[in-house]
Structure 1
Amino acid sequence: MFLDLTGIDSCEGFEHFGHRLKAHVLNTVGLPIGVGIGQTKTLAKSAQWASKVWKQFRGVLALTPDNPKRTMTLLENQPVEEIWGVGRKIGKRLNLMGIKNALQLAQSNPRFIRNNFSVVLERIVRELNGESCIPLEELPSSKQQIICSRSFGKRITSKTAMQQALCLYATRAAEKLRSERQFCRHIGIFIRTSPHAVNEIYYGNSAGEKLALPTQDTRDIIEVAMSSLDRIWLDGRRYMKAGIALDDFTPNGVAQFNLFDENKPREKSAQLMKVLDGINQSGLGNVWFAGQGVNTAWKMKREMLSPAWTTCWDDIPVARIQ
């Protein structure tokens, strides 16, 4: 996480603020963290790395323009692969070129780095020299697509079972869509058999629909998923995977209609979905669409799922006393 500390030094020192921030996170969240402060995001990450490695700074390190010696010492002692955004793969290539630490990378020619690596690494070089090239994002960028897909624990051969699976995936995708506060204009599904099954002809297909009215209503998404399935379903196949994709997002559900348009928004859709999400997130119970089925045998493959020893009766270890 990055914070903009512009002007904070007029009220208190950077390191004093860092220690207060570290203590606040530990007391409220219970997480021990390292705090690094620098002119750029890359320098701040390098300072955070050093705050964890150099115990004398007690988890807080500030790189400021008035102490260039500290910055030089840090960069000289930081391996190049430990720089934020570099990693081991690029680090090995840099090592072959004689660039072993962050200081050597900072002293490299930015144009040379760009021509031999990427513009991203060039920005890192400039950031190590105090030139801000990576802007601070105040809000995370919204998703451009939401996909919900799973491989089945058992092959699906009946259309009813596939409808149940897609209904469940549509519900999950709609929940994610509402959590992003988005509406979608396009809904698509796909189904496929296993390409590795012996003596079986592979089949995979997809279908979708463009909506006249953007929606985040689970009922609309399920309706499109079911009609799309009708167009691509083939009997006599053993399906191993299916999924649903939502895209073409808009932050609101407003659309222009004419007087005789048959497409109208569902009444009280937002209120109903809010109540539905509230119940399911409260922990007091679950509400689901009947189309999802009950005790389905096709549930996703979960052989590697960790046991829920403290929350599931079936996973409680059994001790035998003899």
Structure 2
Amino acid sequence: MIGLVDCNTFYVSCERVFQPRLITLPVGVLSNNDGCVIALSTELKALGIPMGMPAFEIQHLVRQGRIHLLSSNYELYGDMSQRVQAVLEEFSAGVEPYSIDEMFVRFDGFAPGQLLEHARQLHQKVRQYTGIPVCVGVAPTRTLAKLANRVAKKVPAYGGVCVLQADSLAARRLLQKIELGDIWGVGHRLVERLALMGIQSAWDLAQADPKRIRQRFSVTLERTALELRGIPCIEMIDANEPRQRIMTSRSFGRLSGDLGEIHQAIRQHAQRCAEKLRAQGSLARAVYVFLKTNPHRPDLPQYSPGAIAELACPTDDSRAILHAASQALTAIYRPNVAFMKGGVMLIDLVDANRQQLSLLDTPERAAQRDKGHQLMAALDEINQKMGRGTVTLGRPSSGAAWHLRCAHRTPRWTTRWEELPSANTR
């Protein structure tokens, strides 16, 4: 059996763990640069505010104290997600992260009666140990687990936990009620085409001929139909599988054409890419740097260039990667152009343990390379213990245009020593 654990209103819940005063209040979390609402509490949804609402359109509600808007605090959200995963790993046979707030969990060897009780314990332990409320859906396949999770969240009688057996009467009744658009991976265009075949519900799709579904649509939809029958067909991508490319990019807080400021942004992105590269045990052969102007400002010059700088040899050394990124930026920068976004991508990655060294490699170069590995390892260890950005290659200036706007960001309670919550003992 497979479970799907979904954190309820995750971003808002992370904020409420450290600010209990926000519980029951209408709270929203904003996108990068405080542009629009990307996460809403149940109370905020009840006021009719939709996902994606521009923040400036509801500032009057903030001033009136009717709603509360917070800037994104991704460092906190990422750490809380890891804490939830740690609890799940302790109480299950394996965890497969699907997103920052959703994780598939393996439940092997449980009898049906034991499984329900264990799922309820898991539901309670995550809330107890992390403060994050979750819903748990358990079923024989990932697609059915998604539907079981949806029921656990939407139907209060389940208490946040739903265990679904594929051949049960409850599963049949559920599938007959579920519309096609609510099935994992079935978009609105597929819904329209399936309707022409008389397939209106999840139950109809489950009963359809899989071979016919494959011929008319795709092997992916065939697997979905089989999963609805309780036949496992979908395997998740291994989260530990090394990525083929690593990218870090971000929109600037405001438009900028200053080479010094843009260079600082590219250096910060390149350093972050190098950290990710070392974390997955890979080396990069080239660095790609790109810039973008604002396409919604036709009154300004439009120029969105990119350039690749090859590395002398595959490396994960931040110094070499930063040097290559600077070269690429110099090649594409154009004065008198206001840019809104910049980024760095490491490409042509290879496994660090399978690096092919040159026959002309000298002992001096090998010793220099070993010293570089030791330096990078020390840098990563310090930043892991003391917080990201404690030690960097060059310090960015404060107030630069490329810094994100985050006027309402809460402290990074769990990852920064200087922002740890304090207890008043008086």
Normalised to the residue count of structure 2, the TM-score between the two structures is: 0.61
Equivalents in 1 of 2:272, 2:334: separation in Å? 25
| 2:134 alignment partner, one of 12, 27, 33 | 33
After superposition, the Cα gap between the structure-2 partners of 1:309 and 1:180, relative to the gap in structure 1 and judged at 3 Å, is: same
1:259-274 equivalences under 5 Å are 259-260=360-361, 264=366, 266-274=369-377
After superposition, the Cα gap between the structure-2 partners of 1:19 and 1:309, relative to the gap in structure 1 and judged at 3 Å, is: closer
Equivalents in 1 of 2:258, 2:320: separation in Å? 23
Equivalents in 1 of 2:359, 2:335: separation in Å? 41
Q: What residue in structure 2 maps to residue 3 of structure 1?
A: 105
Q: What residue in structure 1 maps to residue 178 of structure 2?
A: 78
Equivalents in 2 of 1:289, 1:136: separation in Å? 37
Equivalents in 1 of 2:195, 2:121: separation in Å? 38
Instruction: Confirm or deny: 8 A CA contact 1:213 1:263 kept in the other structure.
Output: no
Equivalents in 2 of 1:276, 1:284: separation in Å? 10
1:300-311 equivalences under 5 Å are 300=403, 302=405, 305=406, 307-308=408-409
Instruction: Confirm or deny: 8 A CA contact 2:143 2:224 kept in the other structure.
Output: yes
After superposition, the Cα gap between the structure-2 partners of 1:260 and 1:176, relative to the gap in structure 1 and judged at 3 Å, is: closer
1:144-183 equivalences under 5 Å are 144-153=244-253, 155-183=255-283
Q: What residue in structure 2 maps to residue 275 of structure 1?
A: 378
Q: What residue in structure 2 maps to residue 318 of structure 1?
A: none
| 1:295 alignment partner, one of 398, 405, 410 | 398
Give the letter for the 1:4 counterpart: R
How far residue 212 of structure 1 moved from its aligned partner, in angstroms, is: 4.5
How far residue 124 of structure 1 moved from its aligned partner, in angstroms, is: 0.6
Q: What residue in structure 2 maps to residue 320 of structure 1?
A: none
After superposition, the Cα gap between the structure-2 partners of 1:21 and 1:155, relative to the gap in structure 1 and judged at 3 Å, is: closer
1:69 lines up with 2:169 in the alignment: yes
| 1:255 alignment partner, one of 345, 352, 356 | 356
Deviations 1:207-261 (A, max 9, x none): 2233353222211111111223343444555444432210222231633222456
Which structure has the greater CA radius of gyration?
A: 1
Instruction: Confirm or deny: 8 A CA contact 2:311 2:324 kept in the other structure.
Output: no
Q: What residue in structure 2 maps to residue 228 of structure 1?
A: 328
Partner of 1:48: helix, strand, or coil? Answer: helix
Give the letter for the 2:214 counterpart: R
Normalised to the residue count of structure 1, the TM-score between the two structures is: 0.78
How far residue 197 of structure 1 moved from its aligned partner, in angstroms, is: 4.8
Aligned residues with identical type, % of pairs? 34
Partner of 2:352: helix, strand, or coil? Answer: coil
Q: What residue in structure 2 maps to residue 132 of structure 1?
A: 232
After superposition, the Cα gap between the structure-2 partners of 1:116 and 1:160, relative to the gap in structure 1 and judged at 3 Å, is: same
| 1:108 alignment partner, one of 208, 217, 221 | 208
Instruction: Confirm or deny: 8 A CA contact 1:36 1:60 kept in the other structure.
Output: yes
Give the letter for the 1:64 counterpart: Q
Give the letter for the 1:288 counterpart: T
Give the letter for the 1:297 counterpart: A
How far residue 18 of structure 1 moved from its aligned partner, in angstroms, is: 1.6
Deviations 1:174-209 (A, max 9, x none): 223233343222212134555655474x44433223
Equivalents in 2 of 1:263, 1:212: separation in Å? 13
Partner of 2:133: helix, strand, or coil? Answer: coil
Instruction: Confirm or deny: 8 A CA contact 2:262 2:402 kept in the other structure.
Output: no
Structure 2's unaligned 5+ residue stretches are 1-102, 413-426
1:17-32 equivalences under 5 Å are 17-32=118-133
Give the letter for the 2:390 counterpart: N
| 2:145 alignment partner, one of 22, 29, 44 | 44
Equivalents in 2 of 1:108, 1:130: separation in Å? 14
Q: What residue in structure 2 maps to residue 317 of structure 1?
A: none
Give the letter for the 2:346 counterpart: L
How far residue 135 of structure 1 moved from its aligned partner, in angstroms, is: 2.1
Instruction: Confirm or deny: 8 A CA contact 1:8 1:14 kept in the other structure.
Output: yes
Equivalents in 1 of 2:135, 2:293: separation in Å? 48
Instruction: Confirm or deny: 8 A CA contact 1:209 1:228 kept in the other structure.
Output: yes
How far residue 166 of structure 1 moved from its aligned partner, in angstroms, is: 2.0
After superposition, the Cα gap between the structure-2 partners of 1:258 and 1:111, relative to the gap in structure 1 and judged at 3 Å, is: same
Deviations 1:142-177 (A, max 9, x none): 322122234444554454444323222212222232
After superposition, the Cα gap between the structure-2 partners of 1:128 and 1:14, relative to the gap in structure 1 and judged at 3 Å, is: same
Structure 1's unaligned 5+ residue stretches are 312-322
Give the letter for the 1:270 counterpart: H
Partner of 1:34: helix, strand, or coil? Answer: strand
> How large is the Cα RMSD of the aligned pairs?
3.3
Give the letter for the 1:274 counterpart: A
After superposition, the Cα gap between the structure-2 partners of 1:234 and 1:57, relative to the gap in structure 1 and judged at 3 Å, is: closer
